[in-house]
Structure 1
């Protein structure tokens, strides 16, 4: 075959390899293009009659991948697309520093929270350039590429694209963990989905006596009543005559001690014709909260006005209108007076340390405060 014919083969093969990757995103197309070039090189190499390569051919056609390397393409992509902090493939959003180093959302937020605790500028762990929510942006191409890479199902151990894994594990996998439909009357069984029909046909709970079922349902009702008690309390507070609420913004400050500690404080605000301030602290003013994996925030409400008589109030904090932090409301009570104008520090009811890192990573913490004055 002449050199011209070899180039024709390459030109004819290239469109097929590139068009196959257009449906999986920019990076996915690049992955398939690499595999297509390797296959094309192998085919052209077999048809060549002479050992001398054509000097006019593009360099990529002359370079042949070593045998067996194409099967490790996914592993090579894993090392390229993984987070520079936890060295794992990102599960959600992917951020990059100004030099292009990748960080998963969890590690990015954790780095910003650590910098807040240590009063330092957050930096990329790879190149040490400054990072912040304004300087870093999401890498959508990497997010799409990662979603197309295969991963193993936790239950059946089969390979699936990451983008379809969640639906497979929740709805399709025959080995996914499921519960008996008689769980509502106390059946504790759980096991693989494919064993569910056999269990339900032999489950003993439908044949229990009414007395046994009443005992089980009584325990379930008790748990439900505990959940409803909070909401009923909030509804009762909404009937009070004097109700006030406002958006509050916690700003970070440092103590003047030898070992400074991070704390938060809001500007003075007015609710119910009184002046108030909110303060918050990290891990109950632990000496080095940046060394702890578990992080919490606690707050106190302070009355700055002078009052003629005791002011008995109930109050609670909720998330702000534009925040995504999860807060489970808790109602607190205090009788304010000139001698007792501060509440004790109470925990901010966030679900876990991940939510706390979200708040610490933000420049300011925005929440909504409700105060209900108890009428005597």
Structure 2
């Protein structure tokens, strides 16, 4: 009998050890299987479900330390804005502790603090932030501009610094319009389909009557746009014209519910004393809860007049501001009884521009007043 057989027989022949030996082997097998299952379960929990390829990067869970990943993904988590968790598209600001904020979020935080009458703080470390305390991080701006991003049209990867030029001039899938748009062709589509469309476009073959109808509608829209500019040129011919730089300063009402409003110091134009007032979201109770923000203003005549004063006026951006304002001309007949105009909207392009004004310590604009001669 071989030694192996002797060992087998010895094990089997040991009194009282048969069931115990088999039980130990079974327990070991079960334990090994349990460990393997536990490791597999831990692995699944650690890795988690794979993110969908179309899911925005800012929604992806950051990989645990030590796991390898693409350099771009690791840089994304390092360079993203601490507020919106997205890569900055323009300027990048940092608090005194180095936490990054994109320009839009930074301005929004400052505007919210002005509305709440609180000190703006970094959402990460809660240190104070302001235009004086925070500075731009040029190194991060340059690094972000070199990271790859996807073209909206062809879905190819390009450095962020060259993406705008590619989408406007080079991409064959960028959306373009037919050259016969001037005579009413509504077609728009990928750039590479443009030659084929223009060969088959039906607008060049339309009759003169049909084209005149289309051009008439386009002329009406153009006249509406030109009406403002023609009005401005007409006002420049008036005998009495005055303008001045005005500075809105923030104040709070003394009512039970305090509201933020703006007011200028008294100023003199056309030998009369005036004041401008402005309010946020038409004195909405909590404008900080609204994403859409507006500023409306009124012109107040402070001096006494002997007769009605017929005036036209408009507000433009100041010489030191970069806010975008589309001018609108307003008219009012001032007298001792009607010395205040209604509140009218300051024609700011969007809420982002409004936040720029709210975030500023003072709002600097330029006021023009034209006196209508009777």
TM range (shorter): 0.7 to 0.9
Q: Structure 2 regions of 5+ residues with no counterpart? A: none
Query: 1:8 maps to which residue?
Result: 8
Whether the aligned pair in 1 keeps the contact of 2:114 and 2:358 (CA below 8 Å) is yes
Separation in 1, partners of 2:5, 2:122 = 50
Alpha-carbon distance change, 26 to 280 in structure 1, aligned in 2, over 3 angstroms: farther
Aligned residue for 1:222, secondary structure, equals helix
Q: CA deviation at 1:41?
A: 30
Q: CA deviation at 1:5?
A: 56
Alpha-carbon distance change, 55 to 233 in structure 1, aligned in 2, over 3 angstroms: closer
Which piece of structure 1 moves more, 149-158 or 60-69? Answer: 60-69
Q: CA deviation at 1:50?
A: 37
Q: CA deviation at 1:73?
A: 1.5
Whether the aligned pair in 1 keeps the contact of 2:11 and 2:18 (CA below 8 Å) is no
Separation in 1, partners of 2:134, 2:241 = 41
Alpha-carbon distance change, 186 to 54 in structure 1, aligned in 2, over 3 angstroms: closer
TM-score by length of 1: 0.82
Alpha-carbon distance change, 44 to 247 in structure 1, aligned in 2, over 3 angstroms: same
1:199-237 Cα deviation digits (max 9, x unpaired): 011000010011111011111111111111111101111
Which piece of structure 1 moves more, 4-13 or 36-45? Answer: 4-13
Aligned positions, number: 374
Alpha-carbon distance change, 364 to 64 in structure 1, aligned in 2, over 3 angstroms: closer
Whether the aligned pair in 2 keeps the contact of 1:276 and 1:304 (CA below 8 Å) is yes
Q: Structure 1 regions of 5+ residues with no counterpart? A: none
Which piece of structure 1 moves more, 240-249 or 68-77? Answer: 68-77
Alpha-carbon distance change, 209 to 134 in structure 1, aligned in 2, over 3 angstroms: same
Q: CA deviation at 1:86?
A: 0.3
Whether the aligned pair in 2 keeps the contact of 1:317 and 1:367 (CA below 8 Å) is yes
Q: CA deviation at 1:257?
A: 1.0
Q: Map residues 20-99 of structure 1 onto 2, 5 A cutoff.
A: 71-99=69-97
Greater than 3 Å deviation, 4+ residue runs: 1-22, 25-71
Whether the aligned pair in 1 keeps the contact of 2:246 and 2:364 (CA below 8 Å) is yes
Separation in 1, partners of 2:91, 2:24 = 17
Separation in 1, partners of 2:106, 2:24 = 24
Separation in 2, partners of 1:61, 1:302 = 50
Query: 2:345 maps to which residue?
Result: 347
Rg larger in structure: 2
Which piece of structure 1 moves more, 33-42 or 144-153? Answer: 33-42
Whether the aligned pair in 2 keeps the contact of 1:245 and 1:370 (CA below 8 Å) is yes
Separation in 2, partners of 1:4, 1:294 = 86
Whether the aligned pair in 1 keeps the contact of 2:245 and 2:366 (CA below 8 Å) is yes
Aligned residue for 2:141, secondary structure, equals helix
RMSD, aligned α-carbons: 15.9
Whether the aligned pair in 2 keeps the contact of 1:245 and 1:369 (CA below 8 Å) is yes
Whether the aligned pair in 1 keeps the contact of 2:310 and 2:332 (CA below 8 Å) is yes
Q: CA deviation at 1:70?
A: 5.5
Whether the aligned pair in 1 keeps the contact of 2:92 and 2:136 (CA below 8 Å) is yes
1:156-198 Cα deviation digits (max 9, x unpaired): 1111111111111111111111111111110000011111111
Whether the aligned pair in 2 keeps the contact of 1:302 and 1:341 (CA below 8 Å) is yes
Q: CA deviation at 1:107?
A: 0.4
Which piece of structure 1 moves more, 119-128 or 64-73? Answer: 64-73
Alpha-carbon distance change, 49 to 154 in structure 1, aligned in 2, over 3 angstroms: closer
Alpha-carbon distance change, 358 to 28 in structure 1, aligned in 2, over 3 angstroms: farther
Q: CA deviation at 1:35?
A: 39
1:242-285 Cα deviation digits (max 9, x unpaired): 11000000000000011100000000000000000000000000
Whether the aligned pair in 1 keeps the contact of 2:180 and 2:203 (CA below 8 Å) is yes
Whether the aligned pair in 2 keeps the contact of 1:81 and 1:146 (CA below 8 Å) is yes
Q: CA deviation at 1:9?
A: 61
Whether the aligned pair in 1 keeps the contact of 2:259 and 2:285 (CA below 8 Å) is yes
1:280-301 Cα deviation digits (max 9, x unpaired): 0000000000000110000000
Aligned residue for 1:16, secondary structure, equals coil
Whether the aligned pair in 2 keeps the contact of 1:97 and 1:129 (CA below 8 Å) is yes
Q: CA deviation at 1:44?
A: 33
Separation in 2, partners of 1:20, 1:193 = 80
Alpha-carbon distance change, 360 to 29 in structure 1, aligned in 2, over 3 angstroms: farther
Separation in 2, partners of 1:324, 1:7 = 93
Q: CA deviation at 1:133?
A: 0.5
TM-score by length of 2: 0.82
